Amino acid sequence: MKINVSIFGVSGYTGTQLVSLLVSHKNVNIVGIFGNKTLGKNLKEFFPHDSNIPDIKISDYKKFNFDTCDLVFLCLPHSQSQLLVKSLKSCRVIDLSADYRIRDEKKYKIWYEKEHLDKNMLKNFTYGLSEINRKKIKKSRYVANPGCYPTSVLLPLIPIFKEKIVEEDSIIIDSKSGVSGAGKNPSKEKLFFEINENFYAYNIEKHRHLGEIEQEIKLYKKSINITFIPHLLPISRGILSTIYIKGNSKKFVRVQKFLKEYYSNDMFIKFMPSGKVPSLRMVNGTNNILIGLFQDFNRKNIIIVTCIDNLIKGAAGQAIQNMNIMFGFDEKESLILKRTNP
Amino acid sequence: MKINVSIFGVSGYTGTQLVSLLVSHKNVNIVGIFGNKTLGKNLKEFFPHDSNIPDIKISDYKKFNFDTCDLVFLCLPHSQSQLLVKSLKSCRVIDLSADYRIRDEKKYKIWYEKEHLDKNMLKNFTYGLSEINRKKIKKSRYVANPGCYPTSVLLPLIPIFKEKIVEEDSIIIDSKSGVSGAGKNPSKEKLFFEINENFYAYNIEKHRHLGEIEQEIKLYKKSINITFIPHLLPISRGILSTIYIKGNSKKFVRVQKFLKEYYSNDMFIKFMPSGKVPSLRMVNGTNNILIGLFQDFNRKNIIIVTCIDNLIKGAAGQAIQNMNIMFGFDEKESLILKRTNP
Amino acid sequence: MKINVSIFGVSGYTGTQLVSLLVSHKNVNIVGIFGNKTLGKNLKEFFPHDSNIPDIKISDYKKFNFDTCDLVFLCLPHSQSQLLVKSLKSCRVIDLSADYRIRDEKKYKIWYEKEHLDKNMLKNFTYGLSEINRKKIKKSRYVANPGCYPTSVLLPLIPIFKEKIVEEDSIIIDSKSGVSGAGKNPSKEKLFFEINENFYAYNIEKHRHLGEIEQEIKLYKKSINITFIPHLLPISRGILSTIYIKGNSKKFVRVQKFLKEYYSNDMFIKFMPSGKVPSLRMVNGTNNILIGLFQDFNRKNIIIVTCIDNLIKGAAGQAIQNMNIMFGFDEKESLILKRTNP
Amino acid sequence: MKINVSIFGVSGYTGTQLVSLLVSHKNVNIVGIFGNKTLGKNLKEFFPHDSNIPDIKISDYKKFNFDTCDLVFLCLPHSQSQLLVKSLKSCRVIDLSADYRIRDEKKYKIWYEKEHLDKNMLKNFTYGLSEINRKKIKKSRYVANPGCYPTSVLLPLIPIFKEKIVEEDSIIIDSKSGVSGAGKNPSKEKLFFEINENFYAYNIEKHRHLGEIEQEIKLYKKSINITFIPHLLPISRGILSTIYIKGNSKKFVRVQKFLKEYYSNDMFIKFMPSGKVPSLRMVNGTNNILIGLFQDFNRKNIIIVTCIDNLIKGAAGQAIQNMNIMFGFDEKESLILKRTNP
C-alpha cells in the first residue's frame, strides 16, 4: 500500500530532514512539494549529492489538487500553519510547527503573545507524542507534532505521573540543545563566531515549550510546578535534558523498574545500562530517545537524563512515526537509521 | 616590593596558565620551576612564541635552596602535593590541587577513596575562596586553592546562606564545563573525535567537588541537601553553573539586592543587568565571575547562573589573587586581562 | 548468495565504521570477529544503541576455523597485518592497513623506515582503488585498500595521466583532513583541547601517503614530481584535497570533459556543477568522492578540489566496494547511505 | 605624548578588536566614536564586562569637530570609506577597509566590479604593510591597512622577490581562514550549522585579495603568475597560508638564511625552529606572524607556511602598529598581548 504525501516547506532544517527520511519510505509517494521562496526549483537542488531524491518541482499549493493527497506535512515557520489548515479539507495533516500544540486558545495567547487565527481547529488536533498517544494518533486526522524539548522531557515523565509512581509537586528540567533547534533564519546570534566556544542559558524566564510541557503533564497531575531552563550548546544537533525529581532510593528503584517495563515494547525508547551515562553521540542520526536513570550522591533526588536528536525524534522522525501509526504502517519504516559518528 | 616565587608543575593546563599570568606580575620574581618529566628543559620551550617568559631552567627541587623563596605554587596532579608540603617548611604555599581542600580526613577518604598522607597539615590550610575568606587568607601560610566547579557555585551561595537570606534546605546545581578541567593526561575519552559534537553528564552519582561544596556551605547552613550534576561541554574553557533554589518573587528581589550589595567592592564579581543572560564568552580569558539572577516562569524558583573561566578564576587566576591578598599586593595585579573572543 | 566474512580489529574508527556498514549488507554473514584487547566481549557492546548488530563474541582467531570463511577484513594497526596474512591461506583478504600498499620492498623501507616482514606477499596484493582497478580487483584474492589521502588524489589524477590528457611533470597537492584519520590511540596531540580552534600542516617533509600516490601515478607517468602537504582540520571526518596542475583554458576544458565522461558510469564519483564548490558536508556519511574543477583567475592552472569521507570512501566504504567487486555483488550494496548533516 | 584618535565603526569584528587593543595604549586618547546603527549608545555597551573601556557615546561625525583630532581609524564596510575620506581633511587616516588598497582605478574596477568614488585620493594612500613599508608609512598621512590574506602572504614573499633571492615566475598560495574574516553581517552561509564540521574552498576563480597580492609583488617582480585559493576553516580566528615555490635544497637554505636575517629586528615576525610546524594556536591573540620554512620530500619545492591572527596582525593590530610608526611611538605599544589558548 502506498499513500500520496505532500510537504509544505523544505528549505528549513526540519523540512530537509523530513524529505531525506521520507524518500526511502516504502509506503510513500511524494506527490507535491510547496514553498514560496523556493517556487519552481527542483527538489533535487536541495540535495545535490543525494541519491533517491525524486525528480519533483516545488509548486504553488493553490494550483494543486489535494483530492488524491492522503497526507500533508507542514514544515512551515510558526504561525503560518494556522492560515493553511482550513484549506486542506480533504487530507490528513501532520503539523511540525507549534501552531496546534496548545489546545486552549487563552494559553496559546499567553505563550505566543498573539491571538490564534484558527481557534476552532485547536481541539481537533492530537498531540503527536507517538509512544504516549499512539491510540489517539491512529484515529486522528490532525496531528500536532510535539516540540523538541517537550519530546525529550515528556516521554520519561508522563508515564510516572500518569501511573502515580511519583507524586512530587515540583520538578526541575535543565535542558541543553544544539543550534539546529533555532532554525535557519539568519541572525547575528546564530553566526558561527557567536556560537562557537560559547555556552549560555536563554529564555530563562519564559520559553514557549514550557506551555506544552505543562499542558501534557497536567493531564495526569494537576498540581505541579515545573521549572524549565533551556541552554544553547555549540553543536549542530541533539538535546540533552537533565530532570530533577525528589525521591529516595526506594522510589528510585520503583521508577526505574516501572519505566523499563512501561516502554518494553517501544523500539525507539532505549535505557542505558545501570550506571552508564547517555550522550548525544549515541542518539544523533537516530529516532531514539536514550534514557539514563540515576540518583544523586545523597540519595534524595532521582535524576533522569534523556538524549534525542532534535531534528529526528524531536521533529521529522517523530512526524514519520506518527504517519506510520496513522496509516497502519510498520512503525519503524524508514526510521531505522545508520548513525555516522559524530 | 618583589617576592621570590617558585612553581611545581608547568606542563599541565593549570601550570601553563599560571606562568603566563605570573610573568607580567610586577611584584614577582620567578626563581624556580620544578618538574620531573620536564627536568632540564627551558621554561621558554613551553611558550615558544610568547614574549616575557624568563630564561629559566626546570630544575630538581631537591637541589633547590628554598630559604630565599617566599612562595611556592603547587600545580601538580592530585595526591602529589601531600607528599611535598612538609618539606617546604620555609615558604608559604598555594596548592592548586585538591589535596588540602577537604579539612576532615574522614571526608577526604570518602571523596577521594584513599587515606590522606599528610593528615596533620589538613587543618593548617585555608580554603582560598578569595572574596569569601579574604581576611583569613591574608594571615595564612597555607592556602588550598578551590576547585573550579566549587568556585562557580560557592561565590553566589555562601553569602546568602551565611546571612540567612535564603533558608531553603535543598538546592540543585546543574554545571557544565569545558574540557580543560579534565587536564592534559591523554585518554580515549578526551580525544577530539570523542568530545566533538558530543555532550553528556558524568560522575552523576559522585563527583569529588560536591565534597568541597558541601563542606563550605555547611559552615553556614548545617542541614542542607545539595545535588550537584556536572556535564562536559565540547569547548576548551569555561564553566557555567545553573543553580535552582526555591523562592518566590519577594525572596528573589531580596537575594538580588543583597548579593549586589555584598559584592559591591569586589572587582572580579560582576552582575548581569536585569534580564540579560551571562555567557562563557563574556568571561573566558578573565578572572571574573559573571552572575545572572532570574526567576522561572511560575515564580517559584530563584535561578542563579554563573560563568567563570575554569583555568583563570577557577584555578590560576584565583591562585594569583590569593597571593596578592597574602602579600598585600594590589588584588588585581596581573589579573586585568584583555579578552580575545572567542 | 551469502558469503561468510570475518574481521580483525573492531575497536578502531575504521573497524567500527566497517562493521556498522557491513551489518546491513544482504550478501554477508559476519562469522568471526577477532581482537586482542577486546577478546571475549560481545560485538553489541561497541554499538550499544544500534539495532542490527549481530550477537557475536570477539574471539581468538587462533582457535577459529577459517575453512568456511570466504573473506577476511584486516582493520589492524599498521605492521600487524604482515604477520597475519600468511596464516589466512584459505580465504580472500582485504587489508585496510598500509602493510601491502607499497609493492616494492625497498620503497616500503624508505616510507615506513623498517623491513617488511612478509616481502614475498607484497606482489600478490592488488591496490584496491575501486574505480581504477576494478577488473584486477575482481580477480584478486588479496586487496590492499588504499590510504585516505591517496583515494582523494588518485581518483581524479590517474585517468588524466593514463590517457595523457595532461602531461605536466609537476603537481602540487594541498590536502586537509579531519582527525579520525589519525586513529583512536590516545596521545596529547589528539586531545580535544589541542585540536579545537587550531589548524596546522604536518609531516610536511615526509608523509607516507606520498609513497602510495607516487607509486600509482608513476604507473602511467614515469617522470613527475609530486608535492604533497597534509594539514589537520579541527573536525571529525572528511578530507579535502586541492590539487594544482599547470594548464590553460583549452586544457582545462579538455580535462573537465574527459573526466566527466571517464567516470560517467561510476555512481560514487560525482562532479560539482560548473562554478559550484564542493564541501565536506556534502560527502560526509557517504561513499562518494565529489570533484570540483576550476581555473585560477589568471587561467594558468587547473585546480581540482576533491572531497571524501575519510572513514568511508577513504577506508571502510571502499573496502566494502572492493568486496562487492570481488564477489560479483551489486557494487553499491550497503553503500547507499543517508547523510545526517553535519 | 598623547594623540587624539577617533574611530568610525565599532560594531564589526575589526572595530571591536581595534577598540579593545587601543584602550590600553598609553599614547592614545579616544575622543570620538562614530556609527550609524549604533548612534547614541555608550561604547561600554559593546564591552559590557571589560574594564578600561572609556565612558564615551557613539556620536554623529557630521557634528564632530575634527580640528583637534590627530588620527581617524576607518573600520567601515567596504566602499563606505571612499565617501568619507575627502571630508576628513585635518587628520591622518588609517583605513581598515579595502577601499584604498588598490592604487590603480582600473584594477580597482576589475577586482571590485564598480567604479571607485574617490579616484584622486587612491595614489595618496600608502599600503600599510608595516615591516615592508615602514619608512613610507612614517611619512604618510593616509594609510590603507592591508587585507588579512595578503598580510599572511606578502611578509615572507616580498623580501625574497625584492632582493631576487627567488626568481621563479610562478607561485601557488593555498590559504585557509577562520570565519571572522567574513565579517558579522548575518547570512545563511555564516550560520553555525552551516560552518560547523564543514570545510571548503571558495572564490576559487576570483578573490579580491589576489589583486592586492599581485599589486605588491609586481612592484619587485614584474612577470609572475600568482595562484591564490582561499578556504574557510570552521574556527573563529586565524589564517594559515601554505605557499609553494619551485626551488632545490641550495635555494631553500638561501631563502631560509636570508629571511631570518632580513627580519632579525622585527619583533612581530617569528620563525619556527627548523622542522617544527607553526599552528594557529601559536599566533591567535597576538600581533605576530609565525613563519615555517620547509622543503617537500623530493626537494623540488620550497614550502612557506605562515600563521597570523586575521583580526590582529591581519587587521586591527597592524593598524595600531602603523599608527605607532606614523607617530613615532614604540612600535609594540599596546601590541604585546597575553594569549589565552585556545
Residues 162-191 of chain D with CB under 8 A from chain A are 179-180, 184, 186-188, 190-191
Give the separation between CA C328 and CA C336, rounded to whole angstroms. 17
Q: What is the pLDDT of residues C286-315, one digit of tens each?
A: 999 999 999 999 999 999 999 999 999 999
Q: Closest partner residue to B180 among C13, C188, C193, by Cβ?
A: C193
First to last CA, chain D: 36
Given a cut of 80, is residue C339 above it in pLDDT?
no
CB-based contact A199 B238, cutoff 8 Å: yes
State how far the Cα of C204 lies from the Cα of D298, in Å rounded to an integer.
11
Nearest of A187, D279, B198, A109 to residue C231 by alpha carbon = D279
Within 13 Å and on the Cβ side, how many CA atoms surround A307? Answer: 23
User: C21 with C316: CB under 8 angstroms?
Assistant: yes
* C:186-245 residues touching chain D, CB 8 A cutoff: 193, 196-202, 204-207, 210, 225-229, 231, 233-238, 240, 242, 244
CB contact under 8 A, B270 and D49: yes
Beta-ladder partners of A72: A6, A93
Domain-by-domain residue ranges, chain B?
A: 3-146, 149-312
User: What distance in Å separates the CA atoms of residue D332 and residue D325, rounded to the nearest whole number?
Assistant: 9
Amino acid B178: pLDDT: 97
> Which of chain C's residues have a Cβ under 8 Å away from the Cβ of A270?
49
Q: Kindly state the average pLDDT of the residues D34-53.
A: 84
Cβ–Cβ of C186/B191 closer than 8 Å?
A: yes
Residues of A within 8 A of D48 (CB-CB) are: none
* Average of per-residue pLDDT across D65-77: 95
Average pLDDT for chain C: 95
B249-272 pLDDT tens trace: 999 999 999 999 999 999 999 999
Contact D192 A234 (CB under 8 A): yes
pLDDT at A47: 81
Do residues D60 and D8 make contact, with C-beta atoms less than 8 angstroms apart? no
pLDDT, one tens digit per residue, over C83-129 is 999 999 889 999 999 999 999 999 999 999 999 999 999 999 999 99
Q: How many CA atoms lie within 13 A of A332 on its CB side?
A: 11
Which one of D193, D281, D311 makes the best mutation probe of the A interface by having the most chain A beta carbons within 10 Å? Answer: D193
Peptide bond into C159 cis (omega under 30): no
pLDDT of residue B293: 98
CB A99 within 8 A of CB A288: no
pLDDT of C338 > 90? The answer is no
Neighbour-count burial for D214-246, b at 16+ CB within 10 Å, e otherwise = bbbbeebbeebbbbbbbbbbbbbbbbbbbbbbb
Which chain C residues are within 8 Å of B48, Cβ to Cβ?
none
Gap between the Cα atoms of B138 and C341, Å rounded: 55
% helix, strand, coil for chain B, step of 5? 35, 25, 45
- Model pLDDT for residues D150-174, shown as the tens digit of each residue: 999 999 999 999 999 999 999 999 9
DSSP reduced 3-state for A149: helix
What are the two backbone dihedrals, phi and then psi, of residue B207, each rounded to the nearest 5 degrees? -125, 130
Query: SS3 sequence, D235-279?
Result: CCCCEEEEEEEECCHHHHHHHHHHHHHHCCCCCCEEECCCCCCCE
- Which candidate in A69, A75, A91, A148 is catalytic? A148
Residue of A nearest to D180 (CA): A193
Contact (CB<8Å) C288/A21: no
In sequence order, the 6+-apart residues with CB closer than 8 A to the CB of A184 are: A11, A12, A13, D188, D191, D193
Q: Which residues of chain B have pLDDT under 50?
A: none
The verdict on B274 touching D (C-beta cutoff 8 Å) is no
Please indicate whether residue D307 is annotated as part of the active site: no
Q: Which of A270, A336, A338 sits opposite C337 (nearest CB)?
A: A338
* B305 interfaces chain A, CB cutoff of 8 Å: yes
Is the CB of A186 less than 8 angstroms away from the CB of D184? no
pLDDT tens for chain A, residues 1 to 342: 899 999 999 989 999 999 999 999 999 999 999 988 889 999 988 887 776 788 899 999 999 999 999 999 999 999 999 999 999 988 999 999 999 999 999 999 999 999 999 999 999 999 999 999 999 999 999 999 999 999 999 999 999 999 999 999 999 999 999 999 888 889 999 999 999 999 999 999 999 999 999 999 999 999 999 999 999 999 999 999 999 999 999 999 999 999 999 999 999 999 999 999 999 999 999 999 999 999 999 999 999 999 999 999 999 999 999 999 999 999 999 998 876 665
Does the beta-carbon distance from D301 to C227 stay under 8 Å? yes
- Alpha-carbon distance of A195 to A191, in angstroms, equals 6
Q: Which residues of D touch A193 (CB under 8 A)?
A: 13, 179-180, 184, 190, 236
Instruction: Give CATH superfamily name and number for A3-146+313-326.
Output: NAD(P)-binding Rossmann-like Domain (3.40.50.720)
Nearest CA in chain B to D277: B48
> C174 near C202, Cβ under 8 Å?
no
Among D207, D229, D300, whose Cβ lies nearest the Cβ of C303?
Answer: D229
User: Testing the interface with B: which of D49, D184, D280 to mutate, by most B Cβ within 10 A?
Assistant: D49
CATH of domain D149-309: 3.30.360.10
In chain C, the residue whose alpha carbon lies closest to the alpha carbon of D226 is C298
List D227's β-bridge partners, or say none. D172
Please say whether the beta carbons of A101 and A36 come within 8 A: no
Residue D339 has pLDDT above 80, yes or no: no
- B191 CB neighbours in chain C (<8 A) are 179, 184, 186, 190-192
Active site amino acids of C: 148
**Minimal C-alpha gap between B249 and chain A (Å):** 12
Name the A residues in 21-40 with CB < 8 Å from any C CB: 21, 24
Which residue in the list D69, D75, D148, D307 is annotated as catalytic? Answer: D148
Q: Is it the case that residue C342 has pLDDT exceeding 60?
A: no
Q: What pLDDT is recorded for position D47?
A: 81
Q: Which of A195, A197, A274 to mutate to test the interface with B (most CBs of B within 10 A)?
A: A197
Q: CA of A78, closest CA in chain B: separation in Å?
A: 22
Chain-chain contact of B195 with C192 (C-beta, under 8 angstroms): yes
Q: What is the mean pLDDT of chain D?
A: 95
Residue of B19, B49, B236 to mutate, testing the D interface (most D Cβ within 10 Å of its Cβ): B49
Q: If we measure between CA atoms, which residue out of A78, A116, A151 comes closest to residue A321?
A: A151
Q: Which residue has the cell 541543553?
A: A176
Per the CB < 8 A criterion, the answer to whether B187 and B337 are in contact is: no
B contacts of A340 (beta carbons < 8 Å): none
pLDDT score, position D134? 98
CA–CA separation, C229 and C232 (whole Å): 10
B342: cis peptide before it, omega within 30°?
A: yes
Q: What's residue D183's pLDDT?
A: 86
Chain C environment of D235 (Cβ under 8 Å): 197-199, 234
Asked if A50's CB is within 8 angstroms of C339's CB, the reply is yes
Neighboring chain B residues of D290 at a CB cutoff of 8 Å: 49
* b/e burial code for range D156-173 (CB count within 10 A of at least 16 → b): bbbbbbeeebbebebbbb
- A310 CA to chain D: closest CA distance, Å? 13
Cross-strand partners of B95:
B74, B144
| Yes or no, beta carbons of D340 and B337 under 8 Å apart | yes
Whether the per-residue pLDDT at C28 is higher than 70: the answer is yes
C-alpha B214/C-alpha B207 separation (Å) is 12
Interchain CB distance below 8 Å, D200 and C277: yes
Mutate which of C22, C49, C237 to disrupt the A interface (most A C-beta within 10 Å)?
Answer: C49
Angle between helices B317-326 and B13-22 (to 10 degrees): 50
CATH C-level class of A149-310 = alpha beta
Residue B45: per-residue pLDDT: 84
Integer Cα distance of C40 and B21 in angstroms: 50
Pull the grid cell for residue B36.
620531573
C196 contacts in B (CB within 8 Å)? 179, 192, 196, 234-236
pLDDT at C52 over 80: no
CB D92 within 8 A of CB D142: yes
Q: Give D247 to chain B, closest Cα distance, Å.
A: 28
Q: Report residue D342's pLDDT band, with 50, 70 and 90 as the boundaries.
A: low
CB contact under 8 A, B336 and D288: no
Answer for the pair A157, A217: CB distance below 8 angstroms, yes or no: yes
- Helix (H) or strand (E) segment spanning residue A32: strand A28-34
Q: Do B277 and A202 touch (CB under 8 A)?
A: yes
Q: Flag whether residue C285 sits within 8 Å of chain A, measured between CB atoms.
A: yes
Contact B180 C187 (CB under 8 A): no
Measured distance CA(C229)–CA(C172) in Å, rounded: 8
pLDDT of residue A341: 64
For B49, the closest of D20, D49, D283 (CB atoms) is D283
- Which CATH class name applies to B3-146? alpha beta
8 Å CB contact between B157 and B173: no
B149-312 belongs to which CATH class?
A: alpha beta
What span, in angstroms and rounded, lies between the C-alpha atoms of D240 and B242?
Answer: 38
